[in-house]
Amino acid sequence: MYLFIWFTSILIQLSASLQPPVIITDTKYMHSYNNQQINNSRQHVFVFPSYEAQSTSRVLISCENCTMDNPLMVVAQQHKEILSWQLPLVVTSDSGNIEYMNSGRTLCPSRISKFYSFEDAAREDYEGPIVTVSTAAHYNISYSLRVNLNNSFVSPSVTYNINITPSETRYYFYNFPENDTDKNYQTVILEIQSDDDVCMMVSIQNATCPVHDSVNDIKFEGYWETVSRKGGITISKRNFPHGFFTVFVAMGDNSVCDGKTKLPSNNHAKRLNFTIKPSIAYSDYAKAVGITIGCIVLAYFILISTFCLWSAKDTRPRCMSFVDERDCQIVTTPGSIHAPDCDNISLDETEYDTITEAEKDHQIILSKPVLYLSDLARKDPRILKKKSYFYLWHVLTVAVFYGLPVVQLVITYQNVLNDTGNQDLCYYNFLCAHPLGFISDFNHLFSNIGYIVFGILFILLVCKRERLHKDDTFEKHFGIPQHYGLYYAIGAALIMEGVLSGSYHICPNHSNFQFDSSFMYVIAVLCVVKLYQSRHPDINATAYSTFTVLAVAILLGMIGVFEGNLTFWILFTILHLGICLVMTAQIYYFGYWKLDKAVFKRVWQVYVHDFWASPRTVLRPLHTGRMVLLILGNMANWGLAVWGIYNHERDFATYLVAVFMCNTMLYFLFYIVMKLVHKERIKLQPLTYMILSVICAVAAIYFFYHKSIRWAVTPAQSRWYNQECQLLQFYDFHDIWHFLSAIGMFFSFMMLLTLDDDLSHTLRTKIAVF
């Protein structure tokens, strides 16, 4: 009996499963089939009529009571193409899985790659899609179906407005026109704008089926990037000869775009508009590059000509034949320490660090209210000259061993981007990124040429000036000591800044920003060293100690990029302010102040001695002007420290560059003010360079803060700052910053080179130390 019942039930189930599907042929596009009921005993097959080939069919389906255990299966078939999915549709994200009870999928027109224009596409029709809906559920599942015909062909320079969700993706087809026009339609730029912060992903794929249009497979082909409010991609016909699909997929949450994980939400719809417009032609490339090179040649002619004219008119050779006769009889002022005879001093490197007579008598020096350069310029000029060239050899050594791995790394980054299509790997200004060859952003690479050419020009001008300074007897007693090795090192550092900044812009991102800023530290420190050397030639920092400080700075910059938390900022601020106090003491006491275990005892003894001499002496510094300026400099550094702690962001490297550059400018200002206090003149040539450098610096800072990228945020957030080209359809604000900052630094270096020309034939016994 039980066997009979079991056999009967099997027959019933078998007969039910063998029931033919319900075929619906009287179908219409743009019509909703609501409240359709199916279960495991029947399935629905919707057969739609043919349609014009310039349209694409889009299937919209939703269910009410389907579950993950009993899903609704959807199969859409069209001209040898099959697309299948199920409801609920599961979208994965960092915040968890999200189930969607509706979906919208566009069917890929398999013959789209053979059409090269809308007119060609209109000559043929597509067979209508066949949509099959089924389920394994024993109970009735209710669903609604609608198939629309959409125009998925995109015209150039036309703005399209669409809405997408993680379960309702969209894609459009664009084909490059065959005929050439006055615009470059062989390379186009996809521009995307949105008013909301919903995260989405955009993919550029070849015009072949299937199209990867889901969260799980959109990265499988072509180019892709994350977008929040703004985005763009440059697409070349060379990479997509038969056109391309632009695929838009909303993400399940915003974690990919903003780096923050939140609770999953089903309400993640995004509104956006996009435009595909032609990029510039290669003739525009040639025009921009040609104008840039022409301006550089013109600048070379003007700057070299004016420097030579000034040199011929206003600069006398530094040799004894051009010294006043009465000054030839005098080499020291009364009361100063007599300079030793330098003729018999060996140039052996073992004697470079020999303690001089001035160092032995530093107590006498510290007690003098006014010091003169002859007190601190007692070493043989030939020794100081050789020591100054150590800076150049250190710069060149660092440039080779630091620069070559950088170039290798960024080229590898570029190749990885080209191979994977991951546009999030590099933080470009996608709205003004002009490719050339395998380089994705040629214009930002090329705009760094200013650092290189002006660095070379500065070295050439220094070389010309050095040819006029070869009288060793003159160099012992007159003018500011000319350490030309330092000048050459500064010029070489500017060249390397251009090389490394260009390397960084091949693929700018969070990990390699230090490449862009490393030689900015070098330039800032070398300028400070040269300024200090001008009045303290015998007690200046050595090349070894200078580059040790720079190595520590680069190490701190690297740590700050990867671990820029509040604890690190506090520790760095303590170090920063501590170094400021130490440097203040060094500058005030002419380099004879030492930080050791007896420092507090010495300070106490000095204050006790001054107090017993006169209580007013404790409050009145020996060098009032120097003390006032140093207090102002320390206040500025305290302000920088407070600002850094208050705005402790991930962009520590930019803050570190600001610290170095601000202190360099403060020391420049200190030096110029002290020259005026001591009634020294600033001649027309350095004054002109000073004014030009200030103008360039102010303009450059303006363009620097109008950023086109932000490497310290996520790639999607960086694209908020993307901007279209502003100059010659080729350069954006950051490119203009490159040019202005290069010119401004060149003028600053020229001011440094000529600042003390008024003292070139003045006895060192008459030149004040400050």
> For residue 375, which of 678, 590, 531, 670 has the smallest C-alpha distance?
590
Tell me the two tokens of residue 172: 């459009």
Q: What's residue 608's pLDDT?
A: 60
Strand order in the sheet with 184-193: 159-164, 270-279, 184-193, 230-236
Query: How many other C-beta atoms lie within 10 A of the C-beta of residue 122?
Result: 13
Query: How many other C-beta atoms lie within 10 A of the C-beta of residue 337?
Result: 19
Same domain, 527 and 605: no
Residues 749, 716: Cα–Cα separation, whole Å: 39
DSSP string computed for 97-122: -EEESEEEEEPP-TTGGG--SHHHHH
Whether 655 is in a domain gets the answer no
Same domain, 411 and 485: yes
More confident residue, 372 or 301: 301
Same domain, 201 and 265: yes
Query: How many other C-beta atoms lie within 10 A of the C-beta of residue 561?
Result: 20
What is the number of domains present in the chain?
4
> For residue 629, which of 599, 672, 579, 567 has the smallest C-alpha distance?
672
Q: pLDDT-based confidence at 667, cuts 50/70/90? A: confident
Tell me the two tokens of residue 259: 């780096």
Mean pLDDT along residues 676-686:
88
Q: pLDDT-based confidence at 275, cuts 50/70/90? A: very high
Mean pLDDT along residues 393-421:
90
Tell me the two tokens of residue 307: 């420097």
Same domain, 455 and 337: yes
- Estimate to the nearest angstrom the gap between the alpha carbon of 93 and the chain centroid: 29
- pLDDT above 70 (res 411): yes
Domain ends where: 279, 300, 327?
279
Q: Please write the tens of the pLDDT for every residue from 748-767.
A: 999 999 988 888 878 888 88
- pLDDT above 50 (res 2): no
Task: Quickly count helices (H) and strands (E) in the chain.
Answer: 22, 21
More confident residue, 341 or 278: 278
Q: pLDDT-based confidence at 16, cuts 50/70/90? A: very low
Task: Name the 3-class secondary structure at 151.
Answer: coil
Asked if 193 and 90 count as a contact pair (C-beta separation under 8 A), the reply is no
Contacts of 269 (CB under 8 A, 6+ apart): 163, 164, 165, 198, 250
Place of tokens 């900022």: 569
Whether 659 is in a domain gets the answer no
Residues 336, 326: Cα–Cα separation, whole Å: 19
Asked if 422 and 715 count as a contact pair (C-beta separation under 8 A), the reply is no
Q: Please write the tens of the pLDDT for every residue from 63-122.
A: 888 888 888 899 988 776 788 888 888 887 777 788 888 898 888 875 554 444 444 444
Whether 660 is in a domain gets the answer no
Q: What's residue 299's pLDDT?
A: 92
Peptide bond into 210 cis (omega under 30): yes
Whether 607 is in a domain gets the answer yes
Residues 746, 458: Cα–Cα separation, whole Å: 7
Same domain, 192 and 262: yes
Strand order in the sheet with 81-87: 22-24, 44-47, 130-135, 72-78, 81-87
Domain ends where: 127, 147, 167?
147
Same domain, 742 and 642: no
> For residue 267, which of 217, 192, 215, 196 has the smallest C-alpha distance?
196
Long-range contacts of 550-556 (CB under 8 A, 24+ apart): 550/521, 550/522, 550/525, 553/521, 553/525, 553/656, 553/660, 554/514, 554/518, 554/521, 556/656
Measure Cα distances from 415 to 29, 206, 425, 431 in Å: 46, 20, 11, 21
Q: pLDDT-based confidence at 254, cuts 50/70/90? A: confident
Q: Please write the tens of the pLDDT for every residue from 590-646.
A: 665 666 565 566 565 555 665 555 555 555 666 666 777 788 888 888 888 888 777
Q: What's residue 574's pLDDT?
A: 86
Q: Please write the tens of the pLDDT for every residue from 207-229.
A: 888 888 888 888 888 899 999 88
Same domain, 369 and 515: yes
Q: pLDDT-based confidence at 747, cuts 50/70/90? A: very high
Q: What's residue 438's pLDDT?
A: 86
Domain ends where: 122, 147, 172?
147
Whether 455 is in a domain gets the answer yes
Measure Cα distances from 107 to 84, 110, 270 in Å: 10, 9, 21
> Which CATH number goes with the domain that contains 228?
2.60.120.380
Beta strands in 237-365 (DSSP E): 244-250, 270-279
Task: Name the 3-class secondary structure at 670.
Answer: helix
Lowest mean pLDDT segment, chosen from 149-158, 242-251, 471-480: 471-480
> For residue 442, which of 295, 286, 297, 275 has the smallest C-alpha distance?
286
Q: What's residue 358's pLDDT?
A: 41
Tell me the two tokens of residue 625: 């002007």
Same domain, 467 and 389: yes
Strand order in the sheet with 102-106: 32-38, 141-150, 56-63, 102-106
Backbone angles phi and psi of 741, in degrees to 5: -65, -35
Residues 507, 410: Cα–Cα separation, whole Å: 6
Name the most confidently modeled range: 154-163, 541-550, 582-591, 705-714: 154-163
- pLDDT above 50 (res 350): no
Place of tokens 């820029």: 564
pTM for this one? 0.81
DSSP string computed for 694-763: HHHHHHHHHHHHS-S--TTS-HHHHGGG-----BTTTB-HHHHHHHHHHHHHHHHHHHHHHTTGGGTTSB
Task: Say if residue 718 is exposed, middle or buried (CB neighbours under 10 Å; 0-12, 13-18, 19+).
Answer: buried
Task: Name the 3-class secondary structure at 326.
Answer: helix
Handedness of CA 47, 52, 55, 56 (dihedral sign): positive
- Estimate to the nearest angstrom the gap between the alpha carbon of 297 and the chain centroid: 28
Residues 469, 319: Cα–Cα separation, whole Å: 7
Same domain, 334 and 453: yes
Task: Please give the residue range of the domain that contains residue 612.
Answer: 566-649
> Which CATH number goes with the domain that contains 76?
2.60.120
User: For all residues of the chain together, what is the average pLDDT?
Assistant: 80
Same domain, 573 and 613: yes
Same domain, 162 and 125: no
- pLDDT above 90 (res 694): yes
Q: Please write the tens of the pLDDT for every residue from 157-166.
A: 889 998 988 8
Whether 411 is in a domain gets the answer yes
Q: Which residues of 226-249 are buried (b: 16+ CB within 10 A; e: fewer)?
A: bbbbbbbbbbebeebeebbbbbbb
Q: What's residue 14's pLDDT?
A: 42
Lowest mean pLDDT segment, chosen from 104-108, 351-355, 555-559: 351-355
Whether 664 is in a domain gets the answer no
Q: What's residue 765's pLDDT?
A: 81
Same domain, 490 and 511: yes
Whether 348 is in a domain gets the answer no
Measured distance between the N- and C-terminal CA atoms of the chain, rounded to whole angstroms: 117
Q: What's residue 1's pLDDT?
A: 47
More confident residue, 745 or 556: 745
Tell me the two tokens of residue 601: 């005892």
Containing 163, the helix (H) or strand (E) segment is strand 159-164
- pLDDT above 80 (res 231): yes
More confident residue, 563 or 710: 710
Residues 640, 637: Cα–Cα separation, whole Å: 5
Q: pLDDT-based confidence at 472, cuts 50/70/90? A: low
Contacts of 113 (CB under 8 A, 6+ apart): 207, 208, 242, 243
